[in-house]
Amino acid sequence: LTCSVSFLVSVSEFSSAGGGDCALIGLEESESKHKRGFKQKRSRESCGMGSHRMGEMGLSDSGPTHHHHHHHLPYALLHGMNPSNTAFMSHPDPAFDFGELEEAIVLQGVKIRNDESRAGMLLFLSSPLLTLEMFPSWPMRFHHQQRGGSTDSGSGVNTISSKAEASAHHHHNNNMEPESPISRKAASSSSDHYHFHQMDQLAASNGGAGPSTSSHHQQQQNQSAEKPPNEKTLRRLAQNREAARKSRLRKKLQAYVQQLETSRIKLSQMEQELQRARQQGLFLSGCGGAGGNLSSAAAMFDMEYARWLEDDLRHMSELRTGLHAHLSDGDLRVTVDRYVSHYDEIFRLKGAAAKSDVFHLITGMWVTPAERCFLWMGGFRPSELIKMLISQLDPLTEQQVMGIYSLQHSSQQAEEALSQGLDQLHQSLVDTIAGGSVVDGMQQMAVALGKLANLEGFVRQADNLRQQTLHQLRRILTVRQAARCFLVIGEYYGRLRALSSLWASRPRDTLMGDENSSQTTTDLQMMQQQQQQSSQSHFASF
């Protein structure tokens, strides 16, 4: 009894928290879990609502075999608990296992009979009544059917009585598609109807006439109901339980399938949205880091740049293989010229991007932080690149050396000129927007906008300078030298990019010590590997 107490009370807790479905699960599980001791599983099964408490209440120790779970007495019923207080009563879920309930009611009746106590009989009398009252939300159909005597009865209580009455009845529960298990368990109507009325009569007489007559009557009825009880009733009840279980399972599956369907639809909708957004150039790439603040031109450029970087790796490996394979100069030239065109491509892309979003380029949002730090006018500084290359390009002829130094010199002069031009633009802009009266505000802005437009020209000229520098390098060097040179350039910027990510994941003095150092170690290892690879390629050849 104690087990069942906790059972029912917990059920109401479940449901009062608002989860009829959870109560379902709980009850369902309790049935099957008795066999295995379900405490743990129940808490897993939680809707977040009361599973802990269910577990705590020790429902697992309610009995060794499933046959004993009929000890789950509807305590509330027995002790005249007002059904309207129990939330789950007022929201009878179709999948609720009334099989257990009806079983309990019947067997309690049996128990009482065995006791031969009047109080017990009274309780039995009252309990069916209470069960009838229990489901106020079934009202119309339930009562209607009872009055109208339709074949489909809606009450588990009816079943109890009918089962008790007609042992020979077969309930083809499995084939029926129930709206509620109660209706499924319906026996033939006539007997239900009859017994319901009998119940009514009993109830009516219960309050009025002396207990003896009614109880005697009831006793007779009960005896007749009771006679074949234990075996056949039990079997029928078991059948009902089984059917109820199957129905619940079916419903669960249906609900799940529906969920899957909805998710599938949502997924395809999202895919469509993504496709549309991509077409509109709103695809946000990982590098550049600005996330949601990219203009569509900037986002598109970032995408193109990412692709260009991938191509760069491919070109570099082509150069590497070409050098190692000792291709003829003619063949290697093709690869080298392809690499030059590869750079022409990025300058072309940058030129297009500069028309729409020059700030994205000039502020370096398209490169990694380490690159950005040393950015010059939206890209690399040609003279610095030459300086880096000079030591790596040995051996060079004297003419080549002179050519390289001359290139360095002229690029420096050009850079200086452009920088001064940009400084003047800056100064002019400051003069335009600083000071002046408020009235002139819009005029000021218009002039300032016009001046800002010159930024594009500077980025374009800087890219032009970069492009010309690379072309001149190509002219000065032999094919093999040029191949090595471009490899060096590619690897240099690759390392600069790697430096950015290493820096981001460097171990700091704060809490993040260990995880970052491991990340840094792996990055370092990666770099070392790459270095080994590359050192084989160009250092040895040089």
Q: Which of 144, 324, 471, 506 binds other proteins (CB under 8 A)?
A: 471
Query: Which of 111, 49, 51 lies closest to 78, judged by CA?
Result: 111
Please, which residues bridge with residue 144 across strands? none
Confirm or reject binding of residue 425 to other proteins (CB under 8 A).
Answer: yes
Which of 215, 383 has the CB closer to other proteins?
383
Q: Which of 410, 505, 530, 541 binds other proteins (CB under 8 A)?
A: 410
Q: What letter represents residue 121's amino acid?
A: M
CA–CA separation, 151 and 190 (whole Å)? 7
**In 10 A of CB 280, how many CB atoms?**
11
Which of 47, 448 has the CB closer to other proteins?
448
Phi, psi torsion values for 35, nearest 5 degrees:
-65, -30
- Per-position x/- string for 99-128, each x denoting binding to other proteins as judged by CB under 8 A, each - no binding: ------------------------------
Query: Which of 9, 16, 58 lies closest to 37, judged by CA?
Result: 58
Q: Whole-number minimum distance, CB 319 to other proteins, in Å?
A: 23
CA–CA separation, 410 and 220 (whole Å)? 119
Confirm or reject binding of residue 344 to other proteins (CB under 8 A).
Answer: no
Confirm or reject binding of residue 443 to other proteins (CB under 8 A).
Answer: no
Which of 285, 411 has the CB closer to other proteins?
411
Helices (H), 65-97: 75-78, 87-90
Which of 78, 422 has the CB closer to other proteins?
422
Query: Which of 462, 288, 464, 466 lies closest to 371, judged by CA?
Result: 288
Q: How many CA atoms lie within 13 A of 473 on its CB side?
A: 31
Q: Are 20 and 93 in contact (CB under 8 A)?
A: yes
Q: How far is CA 33 from CA 46, 53, 69, 242, 252, in A?
A: 15, 16, 10, 15, 18
Which of 66, 451 has the CB closer to other proteins?
451
Q: What letter represents residue 323's amino acid?
A: L
Q: Which of 465, 477, 485, 489 binds other proteins (CB under 8 A)?
A: 465
Confirm or reject binding of residue 411 to other proteins (CB under 8 A).
Answer: yes
CA–CA separation, 93 and 20 (whole Å)? 7
Q: Judged by CB under 8 A, which stretch of 150-158, 261-269, 334-342, 426-434 contacts other proteins?
A: 426-434
CA–CA separation, 497 and 491 (whole Å)? 10
Which of 199, 422 has the CB closer to other proteins?
422
Confirm or reject binding of residue 244 to other proteins (CB under 8 A).
Answer: no
Q: Which of 98, 124, 196, 458 binds other proteins (CB under 8 A)?
A: 458
Query: Which of 236, 99, 105, 104 lies closest to 170, judged by CA?
Result: 236
Confirm or reject binding of residue 422 to other proteins (CB under 8 A).
Answer: yes
CA–CA separation, 130 and 299 (whole Å)? 70
CA–CA separation, 330 and 479 (whole Å)? 8
Task: Pick out residues in 472-501 that bind other proteins (CB under 8 A).
Answer: 472, 475
Q: Whole-number minimum distance, CB 491 to other proteins, in Å?
A: 24
Confirm or reject binding of residue 418 to other proteins (CB under 8 A).
Answer: yes
Q: Whole-number minimum distance, CB 473 to other proteins, in Å?
A: 10
Confirm or reject binding of residue 460 to other proteins (CB under 8 A).
Answer: yes
Q: Which of 149, 281, 403, 494 binds other proteins (CB under 8 A)?
A: 403
Q: Judged by CB under 8 A, which stretch of 152-160, 371-379, 453-461, 506-514 contacts other proteins?
A: 453-461
Confirm or reject binding of residue 417 to other proteins (CB under 8 A).
Answer: yes
Which of 417, 512 has the CB closer to other proteins?
417
Confirm or reject binding of residue 271 to other proteins (CB under 8 A).
Answer: no
Q: Whole-number minimum distance, CB 428 to other proteins, in Å?
A: 6
Angle (nearest 5°) at CA 15 between 12 and 18: 150
DSSP letter at 35? T
Q: Which of 427, 443, 525, 533 binds other proteins (CB under 8 A)?
A: 427
Q: Which of 431, 436, 515, 533 binds other proteins (CB under 8 A)?
A: 431
- DSSP helix/strand/coil, 376: strand
Residues forming the site for other proteins (CB under 8 A): 403, 406-407, 410-411, 413-414, 416-418, 420-425, 427-428, 431, 451, 454, 457-458, 460-461, 464-465, 468-469, 471-472, 475
